[in-house]
Amino acid sequence: MKVKITSLAVLTCLASMTANAKEFVLTDSEKNIKQGKWSISSKDLGIKSEIFSVENVILKGGKQEGTELLTIKSNNFSIKLSPTRGLGVISVVGDGIRMGWDSPVNEIVNPKFINLESRSGLGWLDGFNEMMVRCGFEWTGHAVQADGMIYTLHGRAQNTPVSKLIVTIDDKAPYTINVKGLIKENTFKKSNLETWVSLSYVPGTKEFIVHDTITNKGDYIKDYQIIYHSNYGTPILEEGAKFVAPVKEISPFNDYAQAGLKTWQTYLGPTKNFDEMVFNVYPYADEKGDTQVMVTNKAGDKAAGIAFNINQLPVLSLWKNTDTLKQGYVTGLEPGTSFAYPVTIEREQKRVRQLEPGQSAEFILKYNLLSSKDEVTKYAAKIKAIQGQRETKIVNQPMAIE
Protein backbone atom coordinates (compact mmCIF):
# COMPACT_ATOMS: atom_id res chain seq x y z
CA MET A 1 0.00 0.00 0.00
CA LYS A 2 1.13 3.52 -0.74
CA VAL A 3 0.94 6.41 1.69
CA LYS A 4 -1.77 8.72 0.39
CA ILE A 5 -1.51 12.47 0.90
CA THR A 6 -3.13 15.51 -0.59
CA SER A 7 -0.74 18.36 -1.29
CA LEU A 8 0.29 20.89 -3.90
CA ALA A 9 3.06 18.55 -5.02
CA VAL A 10 0.63 15.69 -5.59
CA LEU A 11 -1.83 17.87 -7.46
CA THR A 12 0.95 19.17 -9.69
CA CYS A 13 2.12 15.64 -10.50
CA LEU A 14 -1.41 14.48 -11.22
CA ALA A 15 -2.03 17.45 -13.50
CA SER A 16 1.11 16.54 -15.43
CA MET A 17 0.17 12.88 -15.79
CA THR A 18 -3.31 13.59 -17.15
CA ALA A 19 -2.01 15.68 -20.07
CA ASN A 20 -1.03 14.11 -23.38
CA ALA A 21 2.73 13.95 -23.66
CA LYS A 22 5.53 13.18 -26.08
CA GLU A 23 7.64 10.31 -24.75
CA PHE A 24 11.33 9.70 -25.48
CA VAL A 25 13.03 6.50 -24.28
CA LEU A 26 16.74 7.19 -23.83
CA THR A 27 17.67 3.99 -21.99
CA ASP A 28 15.97 0.61 -21.62
CA SER A 29 18.21 -2.26 -20.53
CA GLU A 30 15.51 -4.83 -21.28
CA LYS A 31 15.28 -3.67 -24.90
CA ASN A 32 19.01 -2.96 -25.25
CA ILE A 33 18.35 0.74 -25.92
CA LYS A 34 20.96 3.39 -25.13
CA GLN A 35 20.57 6.74 -26.91
CA GLY A 36 23.57 8.42 -25.25
CA LYS A 37 23.91 11.85 -26.84
CA TRP A 38 20.39 13.24 -27.38
CA SER A 39 18.48 16.53 -27.31
CA ILE A 40 15.04 18.04 -27.83
CA SER A 41 13.81 21.63 -27.66
CA SER A 42 10.60 23.61 -27.67
CA LYS A 43 11.45 24.64 -31.23
CA ASP A 44 11.75 20.98 -32.28
CA LEU A 45 8.29 20.37 -30.80
CA GLY A 46 6.73 23.39 -32.50
CA ILE A 47 6.09 25.17 -29.20
CA LYS A 48 6.31 28.95 -29.46
CA SER A 49 4.95 30.17 -26.10
CA GLU A 50 7.84 28.71 -24.06
CA ILE A 51 11.55 28.32 -24.72
CA PHE A 52 13.20 25.23 -23.26
CA SER A 53 15.49 22.33 -24.05
CA VAL A 54 16.50 18.94 -22.69
CA GLU A 55 19.94 17.60 -23.59
CA ASN A 56 21.79 14.42 -22.65
CA VAL A 57 25.57 14.19 -23.16
CA ILE A 58 28.31 11.66 -22.39
CA LEU A 59 31.20 13.08 -20.38
CA LYS A 60 34.79 12.27 -21.29
CA GLY A 61 38.06 11.97 -19.39
CA GLY A 62 39.17 11.06 -15.91
CA LYS A 63 36.78 9.37 -13.51
CA GLN A 64 33.77 10.90 -15.28
CA GLU A 65 34.45 8.89 -18.44
CA GLY A 66 31.13 7.51 -19.68
CA THR A 67 28.97 9.44 -17.20
CA GLU A 68 25.72 10.77 -18.62
CA LEU A 69 24.69 14.34 -17.83
CA LEU A 70 21.15 15.46 -18.62
CA THR A 71 20.38 19.21 -18.56
CA ILE A 72 16.99 20.92 -18.57
CA LYS A 73 17.12 24.60 -19.60
CA SER A 74 14.36 27.20 -19.56
CA ASN A 75 15.16 30.90 -19.93
CA ASN A 76 17.58 31.63 -17.07
CA PHE A 77 16.92 28.40 -15.16
CA SER A 78 18.77 25.10 -15.50
CA ILE A 79 18.74 21.70 -13.80
CA LYS A 80 21.57 19.18 -14.24
CA LEU A 81 20.91 15.49 -13.55
CA SER A 82 23.05 12.38 -13.87
CA PRO A 83 21.29 9.18 -15.00
CA THR A 84 24.57 7.35 -14.35
CA ARG A 85 24.45 8.43 -10.71
CA GLY A 86 20.92 7.39 -9.78
CA LEU A 87 19.39 10.44 -11.50
CA GLY A 88 20.80 12.62 -8.73
CA VAL A 89 20.54 16.40 -9.08
CA ILE A 90 24.01 17.78 -9.71
CA SER A 91 23.11 21.48 -9.53
CA VAL A 92 20.35 24.01 -10.15
CA VAL A 93 20.91 27.61 -11.25
CA GLY A 94 18.36 30.38 -11.64
CA ASP A 95 18.53 34.18 -11.56
CA GLY A 96 22.29 33.84 -11.13
CA ILE A 97 21.83 31.85 -7.89
CA ARG A 98 23.08 28.30 -7.51
CA MET A 99 21.54 25.50 -5.50
CA GLY A 100 24.54 23.21 -5.08
CA TRP A 101 28.05 23.42 -3.66
CA ASP A 102 31.77 23.11 -4.40
CA SER A 103 33.04 19.68 -3.43
CA PRO A 104 36.69 18.67 -3.72
CA VAL A 105 35.21 15.99 -5.99
CA ASN A 106 35.09 18.14 -9.14
CA GLU A 107 34.14 15.45 -11.66
CA ILE A 108 30.78 13.71 -12.02
CA VAL A 109 32.29 10.36 -11.13
CA ASN A 110 31.17 7.23 -12.94
CA PRO A 111 30.24 4.58 -10.32
CA LYS A 112 32.51 2.06 -12.08
CA PHE A 113 35.43 4.00 -10.56
CA ILE A 114 34.03 3.85 -7.02
CA ASN A 115 34.53 1.09 -4.46
CA LEU A 116 31.83 1.67 -1.86
CA GLU A 117 33.65 -0.54 0.67
CA SER A 118 36.92 1.42 0.57
CA ARG A 119 37.97 3.39 3.66
CA SER A 120 35.92 0.97 5.81
CA GLY A 121 32.71 1.66 3.93
CA LEU A 122 33.21 5.34 3.09
CA GLY A 123 33.88 4.95 -0.64
CA TRP A 124 30.61 6.79 -1.36
CA LEU A 125 32.49 10.02 -0.59
CA ASP A 126 34.65 9.56 -3.72
CA GLY A 127 31.69 10.70 -5.84
CA PHE A 128 29.84 13.04 -3.47
CA ASN A 129 29.28 16.48 -5.01
CA GLU A 130 25.58 16.64 -5.90
CA MET A 131 22.92 19.13 -4.88
CA MET A 132 20.54 16.27 -4.12
CA VAL A 133 21.62 12.69 -3.42
CA ARG A 134 19.22 9.82 -2.79
CA CYS A 135 20.65 7.91 0.18
CA GLY A 136 19.10 4.45 0.26
CA PHE A 137 17.02 2.59 -0.57
CA GLU A 138 18.02 -0.81 0.83
CA TRP A 139 19.76 1.01 3.68
CA THR A 140 21.23 4.42 4.50
CA GLY A 141 23.16 6.20 7.23
CA HIS A 142 26.72 5.87 8.48
CA ALA A 143 28.74 2.82 7.55
CA VAL A 144 28.67 -0.17 9.87
CA GLN A 145 29.69 -3.83 9.75
CA ALA A 146 26.92 -6.19 10.80
CA ASP A 147 25.05 -9.29 9.61
CA GLY A 148 28.24 -10.55 7.95
CA MET A 149 28.52 -7.58 5.59
CA ILE A 150 29.50 -3.90 5.37
CA TYR A 151 26.56 -1.54 5.22
CA THR A 152 28.40 1.16 3.28
CA LEU A 153 27.79 4.86 3.81
CA HIS A 154 24.35 5.98 2.57
CA GLY A 155 23.53 2.91 0.52
CA ARG A 156 23.84 2.15 -3.19
CA ALA A 157 21.16 4.14 -5.04
CA GLN A 158 23.29 7.16 -5.95
CA ASN A 159 25.98 4.94 -7.44
CA THR A 160 23.56 2.86 -9.51
CA PRO A 161 22.99 3.84 -13.16
CA VAL A 162 19.31 3.82 -14.10
CA SER A 163 18.16 0.79 -16.09
CA LYS A 164 15.49 2.84 -17.81
CA LEU A 165 15.50 6.55 -18.65
CA ILE A 166 12.39 8.21 -20.06
CA VAL A 167 11.76 11.87 -20.85
CA THR A 168 8.19 13.05 -21.36
CA ILE A 169 7.04 16.54 -22.35
CA ASP A 170 3.40 17.54 -22.17
CA ASP A 171 2.10 18.77 -25.52
CA LYS A 172 -0.23 21.25 -23.85
CA ALA A 173 0.60 24.23 -21.63
CA PRO A 174 2.37 24.44 -19.24
CA TYR A 175 4.50 21.82 -21.13
CA THR A 176 5.67 19.99 -18.02
CA ILE A 177 8.98 18.16 -18.50
CA ASN A 178 9.36 14.87 -16.64
CA VAL A 179 12.58 12.85 -16.39
CA LYS A 180 12.07 9.35 -15.03
CA GLY A 181 14.56 6.60 -14.23
CA LEU A 182 14.47 3.08 -12.81
CA ILE A 183 16.95 2.17 -10.08
CA LYS A 184 17.33 -1.57 -9.47
CA GLU A 185 18.77 -2.81 -6.18
CA ASN A 186 18.59 -6.49 -7.05
CA THR A 187 20.96 -8.94 -5.35
CA PHE A 188 20.55 -12.71 -5.29
CA LYS A 189 19.15 -13.84 -1.91
CA LYS A 190 19.41 -10.31 -0.49
CA SER A 191 17.36 -7.64 -2.21
CA ASN A 192 14.79 -7.10 -4.95
CA LEU A 193 13.90 -3.43 -4.63
CA GLU A 194 13.08 -1.34 -7.69
CA THR A 195 12.53 2.41 -7.50
CA TRP A 196 11.12 4.70 -10.17
CA VAL A 197 12.70 8.09 -9.51
CA SER A 198 11.54 11.22 -11.29
CA LEU A 199 11.90 14.97 -11.55
CA SER A 200 9.17 17.21 -12.98
CA TYR A 201 9.72 20.79 -14.09
CA VAL A 202 7.38 23.40 -15.56
CA PRO A 203 9.28 25.71 -17.95
CA GLY A 204 9.49 29.30 -16.76
CA THR A 205 9.27 28.44 -13.05
CA LYS A 206 11.94 28.25 -10.34
CA GLU A 207 10.78 25.04 -8.71
CA PHE A 208 10.72 21.32 -9.42
CA ILE A 209 9.16 18.20 -7.96
CA VAL A 210 10.91 14.96 -7.06
CA HIS A 211 8.51 11.99 -7.03
CA ASP A 212 9.88 8.53 -6.27
CA THR A 213 8.10 5.19 -5.85
CA ILE A 214 9.89 2.18 -4.34
CA THR A 215 8.48 -1.33 -4.74
CA ASN A 216 9.44 -4.62 -3.12
CA LYS A 217 9.54 -6.98 -6.11
CA GLY A 218 10.47 -9.98 -3.97
CA ASP A 219 8.49 -12.61 -2.10
CA TYR A 220 9.58 -11.62 1.41
CA ILE A 221 9.19 -8.59 3.66
CA LYS A 222 12.04 -6.16 3.04
CA ASP A 223 13.52 -3.21 4.97
CA TYR A 224 13.98 0.15 3.26
CA GLN A 225 15.31 3.61 4.16
CA ILE A 226 15.72 6.90 2.35
CA ILE A 227 17.38 10.24 3.08
CA TYR A 228 17.13 13.04 0.50
CA HIS A 229 20.56 14.57 1.11
CA SER A 230 19.98 18.13 -0.24
CA ASN A 231 23.12 20.28 -0.20
CA TYR A 232 23.80 24.00 -0.50
CA GLY A 233 26.92 26.14 -0.51
CA THR A 234 27.65 29.67 -1.69
CA PRO A 235 26.04 32.06 -2.52
CA ILE A 236 23.17 30.97 -0.24
CA LEU A 237 25.40 29.63 2.52
CA GLU A 238 27.55 32.29 4.17
CA GLU A 239 28.35 33.72 7.58
CA GLY A 240 25.02 34.66 9.16
CA ALA A 241 22.94 32.42 6.88
CA LYS A 242 19.90 30.85 8.57
CA PHE A 243 18.11 27.54 8.73
CA VAL A 244 14.37 28.20 8.94
CA ALA A 245 11.97 25.39 9.80
CA PRO A 246 8.94 24.55 11.97
CA VAL A 247 10.82 22.48 14.51
CA LYS A 248 9.04 20.25 16.99
CA GLU A 249 12.19 18.75 18.48
CA ILE A 250 15.93 19.05 17.82
CA SER A 251 18.81 17.11 19.34
CA PRO A 252 22.55 16.74 18.61
CA PHE A 253 23.62 13.76 16.54
CA ASN A 254 26.67 13.21 18.74
CA ASP A 255 28.71 14.86 21.50
CA TYR A 256 30.49 17.17 19.05
CA ALA A 257 27.19 18.67 17.90
CA GLN A 258 26.16 19.48 21.49
CA ALA A 259 28.36 22.59 21.35
CA GLY A 260 26.33 23.91 18.40
CA LEU A 261 22.86 23.57 19.92
CA LYS A 262 22.71 27.22 21.00
CA THR A 263 23.32 28.40 17.43
CA TRP A 264 21.57 25.66 15.43
CA GLN A 265 19.55 28.22 13.44
CA THR A 266 22.58 30.15 12.08
CA TYR A 267 25.79 29.40 10.20
CA LEU A 268 29.46 30.30 10.41
CA GLY A 269 31.47 31.43 7.44
CA PRO A 270 34.20 29.10 6.16
CA THR A 271 36.03 27.92 9.29
CA LYS A 272 39.23 25.89 9.29
CA ASN A 273 39.18 22.71 11.40
CA PHE A 274 35.40 22.82 11.74
CA ASP A 275 34.24 19.22 11.88
CA GLU A 276 30.76 18.42 10.58
CA MET A 277 27.85 19.03 12.97
CA VAL A 278 24.59 17.14 12.54
CA PHE A 279 21.29 17.72 14.31
CA ASN A 280 18.27 15.39 14.44
CA VAL A 281 15.04 17.28 13.73
CA TYR A 282 11.39 16.30 14.05
CA PRO A 283 9.44 18.95 12.11
CA TYR A 284 5.93 20.22 12.72
CA ALA A 285 3.44 19.98 9.85
CA ASP A 286 -0.03 21.19 8.97
CA GLU A 287 -3.20 19.09 9.28
CA LYS A 288 -2.37 17.26 6.03
CA GLY A 289 1.15 16.46 7.17
CA ASP A 290 2.74 18.98 4.81
CA THR A 291 5.75 20.95 5.99
CA GLN A 292 8.56 23.03 4.51
CA VAL A 293 12.06 24.18 5.43
CA MET A 294 14.68 26.45 3.93
CA VAL A 295 18.19 27.82 4.16
CA THR A 296 18.56 31.54 3.45
CA ASN A 297 21.50 33.91 3.15
CA LYS A 298 22.10 36.61 5.75
CA ALA A 299 20.28 39.34 3.79
CA GLY A 300 17.25 37.12 3.24
CA ASP A 301 17.14 37.61 -0.53
CA LYS A 302 18.54 34.23 -1.64
CA ALA A 303 17.25 30.89 -0.38
CA ALA A 304 16.52 27.26 -1.15
CA GLY A 305 13.32 25.66 0.12
CA ILE A 306 12.07 22.08 0.38
CA ALA A 307 8.45 21.05 0.96
CA PHE A 308 7.55 17.46 1.91
CA ASN A 309 5.07 15.41 3.92
CA ILE A 310 5.94 13.94 7.31
CA ASN A 311 3.77 10.87 6.73
CA GLN A 312 6.27 9.93 4.02
CA LEU A 313 9.42 11.57 5.44
CA PRO A 314 8.95 12.05 9.20
CA VAL A 315 12.43 13.32 10.15
CA LEU A 316 15.07 15.75 8.92
CA SER A 317 18.83 15.73 9.41
CA LEU A 318 20.46 19.17 9.53
CA TRP A 319 24.07 18.85 8.41
CA LYS A 320 26.46 21.74 8.95
CA ASN A 321 29.86 21.39 7.28
CA THR A 322 31.15 24.95 7.42
CA ASP A 323 34.76 23.95 6.79
CA THR A 324 36.99 25.87 4.35
CA LEU A 325 35.85 26.53 0.79
CA LYS A 326 38.39 24.07 -0.65
CA GLN A 327 37.46 21.39 1.86
CA GLY A 328 33.75 21.65 1.01
CA TYR A 329 31.73 24.51 2.58
CA VAL A 330 28.20 23.12 2.63
CA THR A 331 25.02 22.50 4.58
CA GLY A 332 22.57 19.67 4.10
CA LEU A 333 18.80 19.81 4.63
CA GLU A 334 17.91 16.13 4.58
CA PRO A 335 14.31 14.90 4.86
CA GLY A 336 14.14 11.17 5.43
CA THR A 337 12.50 8.10 6.87
CA SER A 338 15.53 7.74 9.12
CA PHE A 339 18.30 9.73 10.72
CA ALA A 340 21.92 9.23 9.61
CA TYR A 341 22.86 6.74 12.33
CA PRO A 342 23.95 3.30 11.10
CA VAL A 343 21.12 1.00 10.10
CA THR A 344 21.75 -1.11 13.21
CA ILE A 345 20.85 1.84 15.44
CA GLU A 346 17.91 2.88 13.28
CA ARG A 347 16.52 -0.65 13.55
CA GLU A 348 16.86 -0.58 17.34
CA GLN A 349 15.03 2.75 17.48
CA LYS A 350 12.24 1.50 15.17
CA ARG A 351 12.80 3.95 12.31
CA VAL A 352 13.56 1.36 9.61
CA ARG A 353 10.43 0.78 7.53
CA GLN A 354 9.39 -2.37 5.74
CA LEU A 355 7.57 -3.31 2.55
CA GLU A 356 5.45 -6.41 2.13
CA PRO A 357 5.95 -8.38 -1.10
CA GLY A 358 4.58 -6.28 -3.97
CA GLN A 359 4.05 -3.26 -1.70
CA SER A 360 5.13 0.25 -2.71
CA ALA A 361 5.89 3.50 -0.91
CA GLU A 362 6.16 6.94 -2.48
CA PHE A 363 7.98 10.16 -1.64
CA ILE A 364 7.22 13.62 -3.02
CA LEU A 365 9.34 16.71 -2.44
CA LYS A 366 9.05 20.17 -3.93
CA TYR A 367 12.25 22.22 -4.28
CA ASN A 368 12.12 26.02 -4.64
CA LEU A 369 14.82 28.49 -5.60
CA LEU A 370 13.95 31.82 -3.97
CA SER A 371 15.71 34.77 -5.56
CA SER A 372 14.25 37.90 -3.96
CA LYS A 373 13.52 39.25 -0.50
CA ASP A 374 9.80 39.07 -1.19
CA GLU A 375 9.95 35.39 -2.19
CA VAL A 376 12.04 34.50 0.85
CA THR A 377 9.73 36.45 3.18
CA LYS A 378 6.61 34.70 1.83
CA TYR A 379 8.22 31.26 2.13
CA ALA A 380 9.30 32.04 5.71
CA ALA A 381 5.76 33.18 6.55
CA LYS A 382 4.39 29.78 5.54
CA ILE A 383 6.95 28.10 7.79
CA LYS A 384 5.98 30.40 10.66
CA ALA A 385 2.31 29.59 10.10
CA ILE A 386 3.05 25.86 10.37
CA GLN A 387 4.95 26.41 13.62
CA GLY A 388 2.27 28.71 15.03
CA GLN A 389 2.48 29.02 18.80
CA ARG A 390 3.91 25.53 19.22
CA GLU A 391 7.20 25.35 21.10
CA THR A 392 10.48 23.82 19.96
CA LYS A 393 11.83 21.18 22.32
CA ILE A 394 15.61 21.23 22.54
CA VAL A 395 17.10 17.95 23.75
CA ASN A 396 20.68 18.31 24.97
CA GLN A 397 21.75 14.67 24.71
CA PRO A 398 22.21 12.62 21.51
CA MET A 399 19.51 9.98 21.04
CA ALA A 400 22.14 7.33 20.22
CA ILE A 401 25.86 6.65 20.36
CA GLU A 402 27.61 5.06 17.38
Return the pLDDT at 18: 47
Residue-wise pLDDT for 81-117, tens only, equals 999 999 999 999 999 999 999 999 999 999 999 999 9
Question: Parallel, antiparallel, or unpaired for β 393-394 and 247-252?
Answer: parallel
- Whether 182 has a pLDDT exceeding 50, the answer reads yes
Sequence-distant (≥ 6) Cβ neighbours of residue 109 within 8 angstroms: 63, 64, 67, 85, 126, 127
Tell me the pLDDT tens digit for each residue of 46-66.
999 999 999 999 999 999 999
Mean pLDDT of 22-34: 97
Query: How far is CA 391 from each of CA 82, 94, 244, rounded to the nearest angstrom?
Result: 41, 35, 14
Query: What is the C-alpha to C-alpha distance for residues 133 and 203, in angstroms, rounded to an integer?
Result: 23
**315-322/164-170 β-pairing:** unpaired
Give the pLDDT of residue 14.
44
CA-CA-CA-CA dihedral for 373, 379, 383, 389, to nearest 10: 60
Q: What is the pLDDT of residues 353-392, one digit of tens each?
A: 999 999 999 999 999 999 999 999 999 999 999 999 999 9
Q: With cut-offs at 50, 70 and 90, classify the pLDDT of residue 28.
A: very high
* 300/241 Cα distance (integer angstroms): 8
Distance CA 67, CA 213 (A): 24
Domain-by-domain residue ranges, the chain? 8-394
d(CA 178, CA 47): 17
Query: What band does 20 get if pLDDT is binned at 50, 70 and 90?
Result: confident
When pLDDT is cut at 50, 70 and 90, the band that residue 201 belongs to is very high
Residue 4 pLDDT = 42
- Least confident span in 9-23, 273-287, 371-385: 9-23
In this predicted model, what pLDDT tens digit does every residue of 30-44 receive, in sequence order? 999 999 999 999 999
Spatial contact of 144 and 131, defined as CB atoms under 8 Å apart: no
* pLDDT tens digits along 292-350: 999 999 999 999 999 999 999 999 999 999 999 999 999 999 999 999 999 999 999 99
Q: Which residues contact 113 (CB under 8 A, 6 or more apart)?
A: 63, 126
Q: Is the dihedral of CA 344, 349, 355, 360 positive or negative?
A: negative
State the average pLDDT for the chain: 95
Domain 8-394 falls under CATH 2.40.50.100: no
Q: Quote the percentage of the chain above a pLDDT of 90.
A: 95
Nearest by Cα to 196 from 230, 163, 155, 156: 163
Q: What is the pTM of this model?
A: 0.95
